[in-house]
């Protein structure tokens, strides 16, 4: 509509100009280089307009001839880029679908059409990984490190490869580089917390956990629980290196963060007892026991007792049983103390209570121990040991990632390097045991 209005305005101006000229007749005379040109003014203006139109047309033709090859090249390049982006998109779809051959084909096509490594290197690396060619993928990821815009993605690819082959030391270096490159990114913070812990760098892992929580790579509860696990290990390391105050402080913080963590409670109670604080040690174990009874807590209950005679320990374990009269762990702990005190009847009665609640292998092993202590290594002991094969398997510490069983809890699985993956559970089947 606007164009039509402008067209009518232009036509009106031309008509008005033509009328104005026709109302003022005259002649134009030009004498130049021996020539004398004489014509009406209207004709002169018409000639002038024709000359201007020819000049403009000639100029446009000259521009077209001059710019033609470049325009053709630009159109050709635009078409190639469109084809390249189409190949790149199809390659990404093929990667998502797990079609290795198609991904590789489209990656090669996109690379030949686009000549833009930042766009095609990642697709080529992923296509190589789909084909199982980790060496080729590694070359692509390393090539990405040479470009600022792809360095971060290259580090992530190399870290993932290092984790797959179990090279946690190399993965740790890549994680550190990635976090230095983008401190606010989430995955380097989460990976660094795992890898620092797997390497036994407890303080560094603690700092990494704080960054992971700050970047929201870990939720508040997850970060709190993992920090508790790290502090237990920090406490153990400090205790081993002869720093009791640091060990006690770390253990106390670990317990405050997660009172349900059995290793934290046991570690804190033992350190309190070693410092002569037997009453405080007992209160720690009471608090943890009320949350969930556990054999490790029962063991620590006896260890932190100020009196260690067999009869004193029997009386002490009666106090533990009073906290949870139905706990099979408490009955077994009291029965074990009664065996040491040679109170056969007391031991037998509590083993019967434990068997009624949980007829497990641990219960029958104590029955066998009682039979050997009372009657020697005879048929009664062997009969109880034979029952273990058909009894419920004992719960134990096992990694939730790889299933490896552990004799005691650690913050990191010795088999797979999983951080805070070891939990107390009843094994579904025979599990491998970490050496």
Is 90 exceeded by the pLDDT of residue 434? no
The band of 218, judged by pLDDT with boundaries at 50, 70 and 90, is confident
pLDDT tens, 279-290? 999 999 999 999
The band of 125, judged by pLDDT with boundaries at 50, 70 and 90, is confident
pLDDT mean over 142-147 = 86
Predicted pLDDT of residue 81: 61
Domain spanning 307-392 has what CATH number? 1.25.40.10
Domain boundaries, the chain: 1-55, 91-165, 307-392, 395-435
Predicted pLDDT of residue 245: 96
How much is the pTM?
0.71
Task: State the average pLDDT for the chain.
Answer: 83
Is 80 exceeded by the pLDDT of residue 293? yes
The band of 7, judged by pLDDT with boundaries at 50, 70 and 90, is low
Predicted pLDDT of residue 111: 63
> Above pLDDT 90, what percent of the chain?
46
Predicted pLDDT of residue 348: 96
Specify the range with the lowest mean pLDDT, choosing from 126-140, 166-180, 240-254.
126-140
pLDDT tens, 11-63? 566 656 655 565 566 666 766 676 676 667 666 666 666 676 677 677 677 66
Predicted pLDDT of residue 100: 61
Predicted pLDDT of residue 233: 95
Is 60 exceeded by the pLDDT of residue 412? yes
Q: Give whichever of 47-61, 119-133, 140-154 has the largest mean pLDDT.
A: 140-154
Predicted pLDDT of residue 198: 87
And the tokens for 242? Answer: 């002869």
Q: Give whichever of 85-89, 156-160, 389-393 has the largest mean pLDDT.
A: 156-160
Predicted pLDDT of residue 98: 62
């Amino acid at each position: 509509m606007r164009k039509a209005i402008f067209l009518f305005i232009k036509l009106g101006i031309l008509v008005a100009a033509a009328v104005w000229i026709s109302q003022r007749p005259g002649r134009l005379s030009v004498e130049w280089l021996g020539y004398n040109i004489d014509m009406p003014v209207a004709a002169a203006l018409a000639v002038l307009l024709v000359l201007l139109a020819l000049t403009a047309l000639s100029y446009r033709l000259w521009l077209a001839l001059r710019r033609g090859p470049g325009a053709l090249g630009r159109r050709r390049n635009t078409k190639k880029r469109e084809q390249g982006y189409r190949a790149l998109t199809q390659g990404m779809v093929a990667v998502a679908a797990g079609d290795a051959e198609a991904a590789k084909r489209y990656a090669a096509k996109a690379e030949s059409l686009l000549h833009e490594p930042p766009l095609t290197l990642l697709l080529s690396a992923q296509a190589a990984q789909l084909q199982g060619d980790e060496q080729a993928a590694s070359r692509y990821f390393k090539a990405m490190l040479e470009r600022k815009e792809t360095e971060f993605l290259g580090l992530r690819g190399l870290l993932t490869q290092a984790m797959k082959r179990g090279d946690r030391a190399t993965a740790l270096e890549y994680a550190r580089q990635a976090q230095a490159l983008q401190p606010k990114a989430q995955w380097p913070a989460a990976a660094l917390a795992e890898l620092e812990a797997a390497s036994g760098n407890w303080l560094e892992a603690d700092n990494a956990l704080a960054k992971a929580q700050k970047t929201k790579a870990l939720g508040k509860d997850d970060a709190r629980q993992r920090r508790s696990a790290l502090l237990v290990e920090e406490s153990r390391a400090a205790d081993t290196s002869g720093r009791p105050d640091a060990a006690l402080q770390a253990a106390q913080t670990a317990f405050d963060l997660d009172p349900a963590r059995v290793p934290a409670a046991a570690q804190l109670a033992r350190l309190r007892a070693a410092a002569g604080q037997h009453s405080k040690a007992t209160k720690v174990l009471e608090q943890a026991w009320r949350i969930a009874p556990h054999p490790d807590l029962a063991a620590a209950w006896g260890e932190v007792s100020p009196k260690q005679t067999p009869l004193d320990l029997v009386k002490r374990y009666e106090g533990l049983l009073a906290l949870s009269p139905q706990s099979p762990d408490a009955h077994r702990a009291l029965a074990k103390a009664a065996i040491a005190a040679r109170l056969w009847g007391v031991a037998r009665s509590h083993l019967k209570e434990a068997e009624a609640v949980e007829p497990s292998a641990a219960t029958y092993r104590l029955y066998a121990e009682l039979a050997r202590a009372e009657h020697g290594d005879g048929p009664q002991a062997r009969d109880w040991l034979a029952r273990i094969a058909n009894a419920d398997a004992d719960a134990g510490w096992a990694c939730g990632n790889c299933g490896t069983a552990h004799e005691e809890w650690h913050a990191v699985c010795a088999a797979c390097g999983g951080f805070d993956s070891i939990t107390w559970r009843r094994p579904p089947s025979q599990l491998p045991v970490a050496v």
